[in-house]
Structure 1
């Protein structure tokens, strides 16, 4: 064993010496346990792995929370943009409908001006007959489709 440093007082009696020896044994036991723990590589690796796993789980929870918050923000923003765009879309649809109606009216006027009278009369009669006989035309079209379908199966 080594000698105590000169600045430490030595024991005055046997009882004090026993206490110093017991204290030294206790400290030596703690030192041996600490050294044994440092040399146990498997246990240290497991502790490190557990720490890393815990940190990764905490980081994943943070990222998940941030992603949920960002998704909520984007959802709110998209809803606001859709609400803002709604009047613009309605306005555009109204303009397109007006333009289509104007073009149809223009085409009708052009037809009235350019088509010969016999063609206009025939077209008008055909349109009236079609309106009056809608059910008959639907039945005939259905029969034609069925006949073609049956013929194709053969």
Structure 2
């Protein structure tokens, strides 16, 4: 038999020896898993994509909050006649949109209506993605605009 390494105590009984073997196996498994995890490109890419997605969602939330804040500030500074005219115009626009919707229901062919409804549902289901894409487009536009200036 070989002698145990000098830095490890010998086992006093078989159960202790089993425990030492199990500990050694566990340590070797962890040692092998570390480089393997680094070479798993797909898992690392998915992890990075998750991080980027979270960051984008955070930025989109910040952009939305800032836009809401600016809109409130602008609205607070508007004179009452302008606010009243805007409300009146918005009401007229809603009425025209409703009329356009009714005409759409009457005049559009069934396959076109079905496809439009499907697209609208898809947009509702993916509103976060659409918001992120919009925020990204705005950020890109601002970046390009800033570089030109």
Q: Identify the TM-score tier after normalising by the shorter chain.
A: 0.3 to 0.5
Give the structure-2-normalised TM-score.
0.45
Instruction: Tell me which of the two structures has the higher relative contact order, counting C-alpha pairs closer than 8 angstroms and 6 or more residues apart.
Output: 2
